[in-house]
Structure 1
Amino acid sequence: MIKITHLHHEYEDKIALRDLNLEIPSGKIFGFLGHNGAGKSTTLKSITSVIEPTSGSIIVDGLDLAKNRLDVKKRIGYVPDTPDLFLQLTASEYWNLIASIYKINLNEHQDRLHELTDLFSMTESIDTQIQSMSHGMREKTIIIGTLLVNPDVWILDEPIQGLDPQAAYDLKEMMKDHAAKGKTVIFSTHVLDTAQQLCDEIAILKDGSLIYDGSVQALLADHPNQSLETVYLEMAGRKTDQADIDKLTEDGDEK
């Protein structure tokens, strides 16, 4: 379980997170939803130690992140929202780097690596430099590195974007399997159909504040006959006032 308490983060000219309190259970797929700038990536980067929050605490499986940063990092695999990392390396060199960071013997994981490269159609690209790859291929390279070491906690920031339909389907199936083993999957997405399909629980953020935390099933039960997309837009979407409606009506009449 991951427990986030009074997490707050400020950039120079913006409050990115406002007193976030949240518990993310093990054995679940937990989704973060919100518009651009809502605080999703800031939260994920705080958990993964990419950034240091202004204040607050994060406890991962009973370990205080601030006091046990290295031990917590070993439990987490992270796929960032932009796969533009280590561009001078080939895919194979990147996987070797990840294996060394997590102190695993890559020779002992060759079967797993072959399985993943076959699954994500990367077998012919293992010696390709990352900077020459398409966005989707870079994404697959980073994902394979995370899945290769198979840590307890997967944190995936917009992992589906850029993937072809087959790769997206395969990744979603692996996310389900990981959670079914009692592990934790955390991901952010703008694709609300994907969130409705995959997530056991979600957190909805707006302007750095938490506006919903709970199960998808409970949220939809409170809004019968509505999709998650519709409910989300009612909660976090742009409010259209009467002046906007009148203007749209006038424009339509003029046409």
Structure 2
Amino acid sequence: MSLEVEHLTGGYSHVPVLKDLNFTIPEQTVVGLIGLNGAGKSTTIKNIIGILTPQKGTIKLNGVTLAGEPETYRKSMAFVPETPVLYPALTLREHIELTIMAYDLDSEKAWQQAGDLLTRFRLNKRLDWFPANFSKGMQQKVMIVCAFIVPADLYIIDEPFTGLDPLAIRDLLTIIEQQKARGAAVLMSTHVLATAQQYADRFILLSGGEIRAQGTLPELKQQFGMTDANLDDIYFKMIDEVAQ
């Protein structure tokens, strides 16, 4: 297993946001993390990447915990946040160089991968630009480039389509498919359910900090008793059940 989450309970205070989450993300698998705002998606991600420490439970990446082997754990993972986090005083080139140093990557190989990504996202002539020169969508592309030059075992992508134009969304989905084929696991939080249904292998449906259901789309259909449903139908049924 690439990522194993067992009995994860936690949040921002003594009152937990997450309540006993259990799931795995095997290699070569794209998992869609689905839920309303406030369902616990971002809190789950923050616990996995180490911004928050679980109150209870364990999180292992390739059998390693953040507390036990922090460097190995962190270098096995790459993250694309919902809101771009860039350094105002660094150019695009310097952001890439910083990523290479942080992950201790082979510079030549990393720049070769970066060159392909920069061309794909039409940033190859923007290497000496600063973040202030970039639009929101272009800043998001910078985050994507920096994440995917890393040959990570797990990619975590939080609401990746925010601010991206349709061509960039297509390019990102192509990259995700390529990394999956290479053997990586992907956890993708998104509200774009049609795209999630098309590209994700499995789904985790969060509601009120708990996993309401998880599995493949056929398995979700069975769990909800909706044989002809799509992911939107299942999602809305989950919301309706919570509201009752």
Aligned-partner residue type, residue 235 of structure 1: M
Provide the residue aligned with 1:98 in structure 2.
99
> 1: distance between equivalents of 2:109 and 2:24?
35
Provide the residue aligned with 2:232 in structure 1.
229
Within a 5 Å distance, the mapping from 1:25-40 to structure 2 comes to 25-40=26-41
> 2: distance between equivalents of 1:235 and 1:24?
22
Within a 5 Å distance, the mapping from 1:50-61 to structure 2 comes to 50-61=51-62
**5+ long unaligned stretches in structure 1:** 242-255
Equivalent residues of 2:35, 2:205 under 8 A apart: yes
Equivalent residues of 1:57, 1:66 under 8 A apart: no
**5+ long unaligned stretches in structure 2:** none
Query: Are 1:201 and 2:202 an aligned pair?
Result: yes
Change (3 A) 1:94 1:199: same
CA distances 1:7-53 after superposition (whole Å, capped 9, x unpaired): 11132385321111111111110110011111111111211112212
Change (3 A) 1:105 1:179: closer
Greater Cα offset, 211-220 or 68-77: 211-220
Provide the residue aligned with 1:210 in structure 2.
211
Helix, strand or coil at the partner of 2:187: strand
Alpha-carbon distance, 1:55 to partner: 2.0
Alpha-carbon distance, 1:203 to partner: 0.5
Aligned-partner residue type, residue 157 of structure 1: D
Aligned-partner residue type, residue 234 of structure 1: K
TM-score computed with the length of structure 2 as normaliser: 0.92
Helix, strand or coil at the partner of 1:131: helix
TM-score computed with the length of structure 1 as normaliser: 0.88
Helix, strand or coil at the partner of 2:16: strand
> 2: distance between equivalents of 1:21 and 1:100?
34
Greater Cα radius of gyration, structure 1 or 2: 1
Provide the residue aligned with 1:184 in structure 2.
185
Alpha-carbon distance, 1:206 to partner: 0.7
> 2: distance between equivalents of 1:164 and 1:184?
25
Change (3 A) 1:159 1:237: farther
> 2: distance between equivalents of 1:240 and 1:5?
28
Alpha-carbon distance, 1:180 to partner: 2.1
Alpha-carbon distance, 1:240 to partner: 6.5
> 2: distance between equivalents of 1:233 and 1:143?
30
What's the % identity of the aligned pairs?
33
Provide the residue aligned with 1:46 in structure 2.
47
Equivalent residues of 1:6, 1:56 under 8 A apart: yes
Aligned-partner residue type, residue 48 of structure 2: I
Within a 5 Å distance, the mapping from 1:1-255 to structure 2 comes to 1=1, 2-12=3-13, 15-220=16-221, 222-237=225-240
> 2: distance between equivalents of 1:169 and 1:191?
13
Alpha-carbon distance, 1:79 to partner: 0.7
Aligned-partner residue type, residue 61 of structure 1: N
> 1: distance between equivalents of 2:41 and 2:84?
17
Change (3 A) 1:223 1:42: same
CA distances 1:150-188 after superposition (whole Å, capped 9, x unpaired): 212111111111111111101111111211222211110
